[in-house]
Amino acid sequence: MSVELPEAKILADQMNLELKGKRVKSYLLKDYERLQRIGMMDKDLTSFNQLVNRKIETVASRGNVIRIKFDNGANLILGPEYGGEIFYHTDAANVPKFHLRVDFSDGTVLTVRLTSMGVIQVLKDDELERSYVYKRDFDSTKLSPTDEEFTFERFSKRMADHNKMLKSVLVGKDAILVGVSNSTFQDILYRARLHPKRKASELNAEEKRSLYDAIRLVLKERIRLKGKDKFHDLHGKQGSYTPAMGPNMKQQTCPECGTSIEKLSLGGGHVYLCPKCQV
């Protein structure tokens, strides 16, 4: 299942608790040829050797990307944003299918499997900028909606500079934020009661406030409910957050007003909305 900002944060927090201080005994890569062909893994896999015998210092996430930092300046970058599974195991003999398996000196194991587009990379601190996903989401000039620096004032100011449709301001490489996917965008806009074709700079103060509050609410609720309903955390536990709007509302009616949900083609993707509530 997709691992976006809330799920990446849940995993990083859990990894910080379980993995910090552990030493890598060995690693194993499997069935990775296809991943290399489509650029989800580097051609040269000797970079993974840097992890052997090294200790995990800390684990952090920003946007959809997880950074596991080792005591020799190497980093394991995990970005399973369109689908992946990251699990921790205390029984080394009983692990599911994986692309990367990391065995620790205490007998515990971490497995990573990409089920759709994503990234598994090992990079030294001074090579991190080479990683497209790291560069995109750890870019400190962009706001991260779960950071303390994401204030209404800052958000509001950045919004005012953009005479573009909300989707391109909130989602994708030119967004002012990190970690908002097209599916999260639909959920947020429905809760903010805004039409996805509205332009950022044209929102009034009240609308900007609803949008800001909806962004915070959706991400906070997804973290509180342990991720989206198809996501499994580090211990295999399933999340229970269901989006208020998105593909799951296809051919349904709006729970607020009873109007049929519409599907709109927008910015190279589809957006579901309530044409009555979202104006």
The residues binding Zn ion (CB under 5 A) are: 254, 256-257, 259, 274, 276-277
Report helix angle 205-224 to 152-160, nearest 10. 120
For Zn ion, the nearest residue by Cβ is: 254
Select 142 or 276, whichever has its Cβ closest to Zn ion. 276
Closest of 81, 93, 76 to residue 22, by C-alpha: 76
* Sequence-distant (≥ 6) Cβ neighbours of residue 206 within 8 angstroms: none
Q: How far is the CB of 272 from Zn ion (least distance, A)?
A: 12
Nearest to Zn ion of 161, 256 (CB atom): 256
Minimum Å gap between C-beta 59 and Zn ion is: 41
Minimum Å gap between C-beta 174 and Zn ion is 30
Q: What's the order of all strands across the beta sheet hosting 84-89? A: 24-29, 100-104, 109-114, 84-89
Which residue lies nearer to Zn ion by CB, 66 or 261? 261
- CB nearer to Zn ion: pick between 240 and 252: 252
Residue tagged 């991190």 (tokens)? 128
Least Cβ distance, residue 218 to Zn ion (angstroms): 17
Task: Extract long-range pairs of 236-239: CB within 8 Å, 24+ residues apart.
Answer: 236/87, 239/7, 239/10
Q: Which is nearer to Zn ion, 78 or 249 (CB)?
A: 249
Listed in sequence order, the residues at least 6 apart from 228 whose beta carbon sits closer than 8 Å to its beta carbon are 1, 2, 4, 6, 7, 222, 239, 241, 242, 243
Provide the minimum distance between the beta carbon of 180 and Zn ion in the complex, in angstroms, as a whole number. Answer: 22
Residue with tokens 């990190």: 178
